[in-house]
Amino acid sequence: MGKKVFITEKVELGDNVYSGNAVYDFDINNEQEKRTYEDLKATGKATEVDFANLDALEQTISTLVAEHQAKKKSIATHRRYENNPAERDYQLDLLEEKLLEDVARAKAEYAKELEVTERELAIKSVQAVHGKDEQVAKFIDSTVAQLAYADNPVMEMELLKVKVNAFNDEQLATLLNKAGAIKNVIKGNEDAEKLFKEIIAVAKKANKASELDLKLRQLQALKKRKPDIAFQTYQRAKRIREGN
């Protein structure tokens, strides 16, 4: 079973060199490739690429090629053309033209779907980073004011840490956008600064912006790949058979 894998940075494993920000196909049924993928994933250097809509269109092209080859074989061996090779050649030419048209159509749909997916993810990513919850914004402003004159800023930060656990994505984005104000007001208090780092770590982990940005990077890598690998393989084999 094949798996598309996004390599986040350049990796050298023996004789194999994987470029960063690129997508590779790993055969998970192959023990060595499976182990390599799992090792890279464990170190954060590889993630699975999962775009069902794009995978479906790529599979469509593979299916078109497989069906074409079956029909081509049927025409090439059918008895009705034994005494009429010109008709056989004509039907084979028609079949070839249809494959070219069908693959071109599928590639165009793939490119369009990739563009739509990219636009949707970009919008969500911006919203995740710059989303603003007015109520939480006022809450953060109030917290900053309290921290400015609090006798025990550490206690205030501990309360903030508890409350942040209940924040949704938009509220986390608001917190991250206003984090600088909190950082400035507790500057110099090591215990409060430690809690601040813990709060921001939780917010960043829960916030979906980094996840969406990773998917956008994957899409950029997919743009450099050919979705019609099955068709390209077929064409190369055909040229070799024909001596071109």
Q: Checking DSSP bridges between strand 2-7 and strand 16-18, what pairing results, if any? A: unpaired
Per the structure block, which two tokens stand in for 211?
């996840």
Model confidence pLDDT, tens digit, residues 48-105: 999 999 999 999 999 999 999 999 999 999 999 988 999 999 999 999 999 999 999 9
The answer to whether 213 and 125 have CB atoms below 8 angstroms apart is: yes
What local confidence, expressed as pLDDT, does residue 96 receive? 95
Q: Rounded to the nearest 5 degrees, what angle is found at the Cα of 31, between the Cα atoms of 27 and 34?
A: 55
pTM metric for this prediction: 0.71
User: Helix 85-130 vs helix 52-77: angle between axes, to the nearest 10 degrees?
Assistant: 180
Summarize the confidence of residues 23-28 as an average pLDDT: 91
Nearest CA among 206, 180, 71, 200 for reference residue 128: 206
Cα(27)–Cα(199) distance, rounded to whole angstroms? 40
What local confidence, expressed as pLDDT, does residue 161 receive? 92
Which class for 42: exposed (0-12), middle (13-18), buried (19 or more C-beta within 10 A)?
exposed
Instruction: Give one DSSP letter per residue of 134-175, joined into a string.
Output: HHHHHHHHHHHHHHHH-S-HHHHHHHHHHHHTT--HHHHHHH
Mean pLDDT of the chain: 90
Per the structure block, which two tokens stand in for 137?
């914004």
Confidence of residue 240 (pLDDT cuts 50, 70, 90): confident
CB under 8 Å, gap of 24 or more: what pairs does 163-166 form? 164/199, 164/202, 164/203, 165/202
Nearest CA among 70, 58, 65 for reference residue 222: 58
Model confidence pLDDT, tens digit, residues 198-209: 998 888 776 677
Helix (H) or strand (E) run with residue 53 in it: helix 52-77
Per the structure block, which two tokens stand in for 173?
């984005």
Q: Rounded to the nearest 5 degrees, what angle is found at the Cα of 135, between the Cα atoms of 132 and 141?
A: 90
What local confidence, expressed as pLDDT, does residue 168 receive? 83
Model confidence pLDDT, tens digit, residues 168-223: 877 888 888 889 999 999 999 999 999 999 998 888 776 677 788 899 999 999 99
